[in-house]
Structure 1
Amino acid sequence: MNSANSPDLCGRHFQNEMVFQPSNLLFQCHDLNETCLQVGQIFKPHRLKIIQQKSDFFASMHMVRTVGSIQLSRLEYSEDVYIDPDDLEQFYLIQIPTKGYAEIQYATHKFISYDQVASLLSPGQSLQMRWHAGSPQLIVKIAKEDFLFHCRQHLSHFQQHSLVFDPKLDFSRPSAAYFLQLLKTLMMALATEQHPLQHPLAFKQFESSLFNALIYGQANNSQEHFQQEHKIISPYFIKRTEAYIRENLHEPLNIELLAAQAGISVRTLFNGFKNYLGTTPMAYLKELRFEQAHLELINNEHLSITDVAFKWGFTHLGRFSQEYKRRYGRLPSTIHKQKIV
């Protein structure tokens, strides 16, 4: 295969993720019915049968929850199995084989999923699968309600009850490769104690990026509704959003939530802030949080700079210090020293 067409990152790079530890091992099981029950409790009830048993059956599953709408799992069967969940109903599912392959029959689509082509499965579509023996998969489960809330803030003309994706997530495509890079970052963050992305404020922003990589990068049934928005925003919406930001500075805010509070689309809110305030909603939020961090540091010499930065969502301390200096003319580390002197 031409290296120019091969992705740098694919499913096989997720074979030994440190995030999956004995502490989050859900089960190791030799009984098919018990395995089906355990997996069904995490996803949904389904049919599971061995296609042709060649040795003793064995299955194992790890599961990690995040502070957001995403759940990560690693699932493996020792034998070829047929899986029939029918309709996923309440969640989206991304399945990435880390080795081996699976056969996916999804609505009118039938394809082979392997380490370079994952399956992206949407609710509301019939689904049957055949997982081949010894083909562990990394599974990303996204809550339907939360994901569609996010989508509606971006796809203002999309009024469908559900977003349906092209089920083939091909990592040779730049958009899918970008999603996989974000996923790799998330796996590393969850495996690292006190990683900045484990902070709710930071995770909210990262989760939005992960969702956007899908809705803007993967073909879906909203694309026919994309059109330029000409709605003229009233200053009232901007003032209402400003007030909401100030009252909720300590909360995990993102632009999707702000748009929902204003009752307008993300694009409209973004354009309104640019037109009336000369900035973006998230840049405005960032400035207010810097103001709060600055006030706390100059008014209390006993506060830790790290604690103050993390409290207000600034998880990269080096960048926080440099941006603080650009705004206030000195590094935060010099404030307490000057008070002591």
Structure 2
Amino acid sequence: MDLFHSTANISTLPMSNHALFASYDIDEARAEVAEVYCDHRLEIMGQQRFAAQHNRISGTDLSVNVMTYGAKTLISPGALEDFYLFQFPVRGHASINNGANQHDIGGGTSGVINPEAQTTMIWSECCVQVMIQIEKRALIEVARAEIGLPAGATLQFAGANDVRSGEGKAFLGIVNYVMKEAERGDVLLGGGTLLSKQLERTLLVGLLQTQSHNLPDVSLGQTGPMPRIIRTAESYMREHLRAPIMIEDIAGAAGTSVRNLQGAFRTRYGRSPMTVLRDLRLEQAWEELSNPSQETRVTGVAAELGFFHFGRFAEIYRKKYGCTPVETLRAAHRMDGAGSF
């Protein structure tokens, strides 16, 4: 199987020995797809007979999928919310409207759907797509570790990407390898082995390197992979967001001196380690206030994360997120109907 020269049709889709479903019934297909993606609207637009087929192998943080609807179709899932979706048509083409991210893919181009924006797609007749569904959390973690995505920042993809040469072709070569092995009966993803973990990470890094996004090129070019000191330090910080840790504790966990740690963070981010720690704590505060229980209180969240001066906490929170902590909590309660706090 060659993803660039595939003649895939409904009866010979790649990974046919890993079929999720096949159906001529649009309601059945919608229900089956909703089980692994999300609820969505699905409508037939063309004259071609509707004939859906979906093959899928699942890993820990991503899945590789091959899918067709046969007929020209409109798919409107709204916001994907919890996952990014890489799409590469091996036959036909598709038009994607993902908020401000609007593009056409096919003929050697691919694209990624962002989880936050409302999405509508139109697939051409006989369109066959290879898709990688990626947990949002996992891709964000890799983007932070590999290309310096700042804490609290969003990762937004945009436009179509030519993957017929260079790094794009190499990335698809890895996808092709995973699919070929699955066809031979050897699913390399999942299972918790070192190989499967490394392979999934390689796919995520490849996605970041080949698909256009909102991070500047310098993130990939000049800084390269994140130094071990910073990776270890940030991992320690995330594990101790509620603990009263000092810079000496972080340096010790990273196996370096305070001076070297400060230099590494200044070079990478232009900020001190303790400022990065503060931002990680602010991010955690935003997460908890945006997804509250009835018992959630702003003062309690702030205190647990080491912000004992409430006025100062509210000020830096507003500068980072454009609203106060109280406003975040009120909005979350309004949305879920939990009432006042």
CA distance in 1, matches of 2:255, 2:108: 38
Q: TM-score, normalising length from structure 2?
A: 0.59
CA distance in 2, matches of 1:196, 1:31: 32
Aligned to 1:203: 196
Structure 2 counterpart of 1:147, from 139, 142, 164? 139
Q: Which amino acid aligns with 1:201?
A: L
CA distance in 1, matches of 2:114, 2:58: 20
> Deviation of residue 84 (structure 1)?
0.8
Instruction: Please say if 1:41 is aligned against 2:32.
Output: no
Instruction: Please say if 1:107 is aligned against 2:103.
Output: no
Instruction: Please say if 1:27 is aligned against 2:21.
Output: yes
Q: Which amino acid aligns with 1:73?
A: N
CA distance in 2, matches of 1:179, 1:31: 34
CA distance in 1, matches of 2:37, 2:197: 23
Map Cα deviations across residues 50-109 of structure 1 (whole Å, 9 max, x no partner). Answer: 113x2542211112112x312111211121111111211111111111111112222234
Aligned to 1:59: 52
> Deviation of residue 272 (structure 1)?
6.6
SS in 2 for 1:98: strand
Worse overlay, 119-128 or 138-147: 119-128
Distance 1:180 1:272, change over 3 A: farther
- Checking the alignment, whether the CA contact within 8 Å between 1:74 and 1:136 is kept in structure 2 is yes
Instruction: Please say if 1:180 is aligned against 2:172.
Output: yes
- Checking the alignment, whether the CA contact within 8 Å between 2:57 and 2:187 is kept in structure 1 is no
Instruction: Please say if 1:169 is aligned against 2:161.
Output: yes
- Checking the alignment, whether the CA contact within 8 Å between 2:102 and 2:159 is kept in structure 1 is no
Q: Which amino acid aligns with 2:15?
A: V
Count how many residue pairs are aligned between Structure 1 and Structure 2: 236
> Deviation of residue 14 (structure 1)?
8.1
Instruction: Please say if 1:219 is aligned against 2:212.
Output: yes
- Checking the alignment, whether the CA contact within 8 Å between 2:161 and 2:210 is kept in structure 1 is no
Structure 2 counterpart of 1:123, from 108, 115, 119? 115
CA distance in 2, matches of 1:75, 1:118: 15
> Deviation of residue 195 (structure 1)?
7.6
Q: Which amino acid aligns with 1:90?
A: D
Map Cα deviations across residues 239-274 of structure 1 (whole Å, 9 max, x no partner). Answer: xxxxxxxxxxxxxxxx96x5654449xxx999979x
Distance 1:50 1:194, change over 3 A: closer
- Checking the alignment, whether the CA contact within 8 Å between 1:103 and 1:129 is kept in structure 2 is yes
CA distance in 2, matches of 1:88, 1:42: 11
Q: Which amino acid aligns with 1:218?
A: Q
> Deviation of residue 18 (structure 1)?
5.4
Q: Which amino acid aligns with 2:20?
A: L
SS in 1 for 2:158: coil
- How do 1:1-341 residues align onto structure 2 when only pairs under 5 Å count? 10-13=3-6, 15=8, 19-21=15-17, 24-52=18-46, 54-66=47-59, 68-156=60-148, 158-193=150-185, 200-223=193-216, 226=219, 260-263=234-237
CA distance in 2, matches of 1:43, 1:223: 30
Map Cα deviations across residues 119-149 of structure 1 (whole Å, 9 max, x no partner). Answer: 2112112221111121111111111111112
Q: Which amino acid aligns with 2:90?
A: T
> Deviation of residue 43 (structure 1)?
0.7
Q: Which amino acid aligns with 2:80?
A: L
Q: Which amino acid aligns with 1:57?
A: F
Which runs of 5 or more structure 1 residues have no equivalent in the other structure?
1-8, 239-254, 277-341
After TM superposition, which residue ranges in structure 1, 4 or more long, deviate above 6 angstroms?
Answer: 195-199, 268-273
- Checking the alignment, whether the CA contact within 8 Å between 1:90 and 1:144 is kept in structure 2 is yes
- Checking the alignment, whether the CA contact within 8 Å between 1:10 and 1:171 is kept in structure 2 is no
> Deviation of residue 151 (structure 1)?
1.7
SS in 2 for 1:223: coil
Kindly report the root-mean-square deviation, in angstroms, between the aligned alpha carbons of the 2 structures.
Answer: 3.5
- Checking the alignment, whether the CA contact within 8 Å between 2:15 and 2:55 is kept in structure 1 is no
Q: Which amino acid aligns with 1:49?
A: E
SS in 1 for 2:91: coil
Distance 1:130 1:17, change over 3 A: closer
